[in-house]
Amino acid sequence: MKLPTDPAENLAALIRCPSVTPAEGGALTALEAMLKPLGFAIDRPTFSEDGTPDVENLYARRSGNGPHLMFAGHTDVVPVGDEAAWKHPPFSAAVDKGEMYGRGAVDMKGGIACFIAAVARHVEAHGGPKGSISLLITGDEEGPSINGTVKLLEWAASRGEKWDASLVGEPTNPDALGDMIKIGRRGSISATITVNGRQGHAAYPHLADNPVRGLMTLVDALLNPVFDKGTKDFQPSNLELTTFDVGNPATNVIPAKATASFNIRFNDSWTAETLQAEIHNRLDKASGRKKYRKGRKEPVEFELVWRDRPSHVFLTRNDKLIDALAGSIKRVTGRKPKLSTTGGTSDARFIKDYCPVVEFGLVGKTMHMVDERVPLAELEQLTQVYQQFLADWFG
Q: Summarize as ranges the residues that interact with Zn ion (CB under 5 A).
A: 107-108, 170
Q: Greatest CA span in the chain, whole angstroms?
A: 84
Q: Which residue is nearest to Zn ion (CB)?
A: 107
At what angle are helices 7-15 and 27-35 packed, to 10 degrees?
Answer: 150
Which of 24, 107, 141, 209 is an active site residue?
A: 141
Tell me which amino acid residue 307 is.
R
Please state the closest distance from residue 372 (CB atom) to Zn ion, in A: 11
Please state the closest distance from residue 356 (CB atom) to Zn ion, in A: 20
- Kindly report the backbone phi and psi dihedral angles of residue 182, in degrees, each rounded to the nearest multiple of 5, phi listed first: -100, 125
**Spatial contact of 135 and 59, defined as CB atoms under 8 Å apart:** yes
Please state the closest distance from residue 170 (CB atom) to Zn ion, in A: 5
Q: Regarding beta strands 180-182 and 338-340, do their DSSP bridges make them parallel or antiparallel, or are they unpaired? A: parallel
Alpha helices per DSSP H over 224-288: 272-286
Is 76 part of the annotated catalytic residue set?
yes
Tell me which amino acid residue 144 is.
P
Collapsing DSSP states into helix, strand and coil, what is residue 27? Answer: helix
Collapsing DSSP states into helix, strand and coil, what is residue 173? Answer: strand
Please state the closest distance from residue 57 (CB atom) to Zn ion, in A: 15
Collapsing DSSP states into helix, strand and coil, what is residue 310? Answer: strand
Q: 107 or 268: whose CB is closer to Zn ion? A: 107
Please state the closest distance from residue 77 (CB atom) to Zn ion, in A: 8
Please state the closest distance from residue 127 (CB atom) to Zn ion, in A: 32
**DSSP E strand stretches across 94-237:** 95-96, 99-101, 132-138, 165-168, 180-182, 184-185, 187-196, 200-201
Q: 21 or 328: whose CB is closer to Zn ion? A: 21
What is the C-alpha separation between 351 and 246, in angstroms, rounded? 40
**Spatial contact of 187 and 311, defined as CB atoms under 8 Å apart:** yes
Collapsing DSSP states into helix, strand and coil, what is residue 284? Answer: helix
Is 43 part of the annotated catalytic residue set?
no
Tell me which amino acid residue 189 is.
I
Please give the radius of gyration of the chain, using alpha carbons only, rounded to the nearest integer: 25
Q: 77 or 322: whose CB is closer to Zn ion? A: 77
Q: 170 or 179: whose CB is closer to Zn ion? A: 170
Which of 6, 56, 76, 359 is an active site residue?
A: 76
Catalytic residues: 76, 141
